[in-house]
Amino acid sequence: MAGADPQTPPMLEVRGLDVHYGAIQALHDLSLSVKKGQIVTLIGCNGAGKTTTLRAISGIVRPSGGGVFYEGASITAAPPYRLVRMGIAHSPEGRGIFSNLSVSENLDLGAYARSDHDEIARDRERSLTLFPRVRERLKQNAGTLSGGEQQMLAIARALMARPRLLLLDEPSLGLAPQIVQTIFKIIREINERGTTILLVEQNAHMALKVAHYAYVLEVGRIAMADEAAVLEKSDAVRKAYLGVG
C-alpha cells in the first residue's frame, strides 16, 4: 500500500451522490473516497452506474443530490474543463479519441489547459516512451488506430495533462488479453510514479489485482467496499465477478 496514512484526508471524496436520467435514478446516495497515491477501483456489472459515477465526478452529468470534493474543496458544479486545470484527467468510456485529428494532435489536446511548453515537451516524451506504439503512429489519423492503440493513446493523452488524479473508464474494454496485460502494467507504472488513479472496470480480475482499494457497485449503490486484496478473496465477489465457484 503506497504509504497511505489513515489520518490524511482523502484526495477525492464523493458524498451521498444521487444522479437521475429523466425519471430513472442511476445513482443512489453513493459515497466513496480515493486516498492520495492509491489505485482505487470501482467494479460492477454493465449498467451498475460505474460510468455515471465518473461522469458525475468530472461534471459531465449534474448530480441531483450530494457532492464531490477534491483536495478538500467542492467541485460538485464545476464544468469539466475546470477540473483538468485542477489536476484531474478523465479518460472516458470508449476512449474518446478524436478520430478527425491526427495522433499527434490528440496528444497535444491532452495538454490544452497548460502553457508551460518545455514541460509539455518533456511529458510528451515521457508518455511516448511509455507507449512506443503510439510514437510509431504520430502522423497518422487517430481514427485509423486499432482498439488497443487507441486505448494507449487515450491514456497517453490523459497523462499530458500531468494529472494528480487520473480517472480511467474501462481501459480494458474490447481489447485482446495480451494488450490488457500491457495496459494494466502501465497503469501500475503510472501510479508508482505518483499519480492517484480511480479505475472503473468490468474486468474485476485485473482491476482487483492492480488496485489498493475497491468498491463494488450494484444497481447504483455501493454493495461492498474493502481492500482490493480482501475483496479478491471474498466469496461473494469471487462468485459474482470473478466467475469462480
Partner 1 sequence: MRSLVDSSIELRPRLGPTILASLWPIVVGIAFAVAMQLFVKPNINDYFAKQLLDIGISIVLAVSLTMVNGFTGQFSMGHAGFMAAGGYAAGAVCYYVSLRIWGTGGARGSILSGMPLDPSGLPSFAVGDLLFLGSLLVGGLVSALLGFLVGLPSLRLRGDYLAIVTLGFGEIVRVLIQQTEPVIKTAAEAAQTPVLELPIHVGGALGFTGLPKYTSLFWAYLVAAITIIVAFRLKRSTFGRAFLSIREDEIASEVMGVNTTRFKVWAFVIAAFFAGVAGGLFAHTLGVGLSAEAAGFMKSFDVIIMVVLGGLGSISGATAAAIVFTLLPEVLRDPLATPAWIVVAILGVWASLSGLAAWRSREGGAERPWVMKLALKLLIPGACVVAIYLAGKNGIDLSPYRMIFFALLLILMMIFRPEGLLGVREIWEREAWSWLIGGRRKAVAASPPQGGGS
Partner 2 sequence: MDQFLQTFKDGIAIGSLYALIALGYTMVYGILKFINFAHSDVVVLGAWLSLVIARQAEAAMGWGAVGTASGAAPWWFGGVVLVAAMLLCGVLGFAIERLAYKPLRKAPRLNVLITAIGVSLLLQNSGQLPAFFGTKPKSIPPLVPDTVLFSIGQVQFRVLDFAVVGTALLFMIGLDWLVFRTKVGRAMRAVSHSPTNAGLMGIPVDRVISFTFVLGSMLAATGGFLWALKYTQVKQPADTSWTLLGLKAFVAAVVGGIGNIRGAMLGGLTIGMLEQFGSAYLRSSLADVYVFGLLILVLLFRPGGILGSAAVDKV
**Interface residues toward partner 1, by CB under 8 A:** 19-23, 26, 44-52, 60-62, 64, 77, 93-94, 170, 200, 202, 217
Give the nearer residue to partner 1 in terms of CB position, either 4 or 60. Answer: 60
- 142/100 Cα distance (integer angstroms): 7
C-alpha cell at 240: 459474482
Give the nearer residue to partner 2 in terms of CB position, either 78 or 223. Answer: 78
Least Å from the CB of residue 14 to partner 2: 18
Give the nearer residue to partner 2 in terms of CB position, either 12 or 161. Answer: 161
For residues 223 and 233, the answer to whether their CB atoms sit within 8 Å is no
- 126/76 Cα distance (integer angstroms): 32
Selection from partner 2, partner 1, none that 64 binds (CB < 5 to 8 A by kind) is partner 1
Residue with cell 465526478: 57
- 56/59 Cα distance (integer angstroms): 5
C-alpha cell at 242: 470473478
Selection from partner 1, partner 2, none that 129 binds (CB < 5 to 8 A by kind) is none
217 near partner 2, judged by CB under 8 A: no
Range 44-103, binding partner 2 (CB under 8 A): 58-60, 79-81, 84-85, 89-92, 96, 98-101
- 155/134 Cα distance (integer angstroms): 11
Selection from partner 1, partner 2, none that 81 binds (CB < 5 to 8 A by kind) is partner 2
Q: What ranges make up the beta strands (E) of the chain?
A: 12-21, 24-34, 39-44, 65-70, 73-74, 88-91, 165-169, 196-201, 213-218, 221-227
Give the nearer residue to partner 2 in terms of CB position, either 67 or 80. Answer: 80
Segment near partner 2 (CB under 8 A), from 7-15, 30-38, 110-118, 179-187?
A: 110-118
112 near partner 2, judged by CB under 8 A: yes
Binds partner 2 (CB under 8 A): choice among 109, 128, 130, 210:
109
105 near partner 2, judged by CB under 8 A: yes
- 73/88 Cα distance (integer angstroms): 13
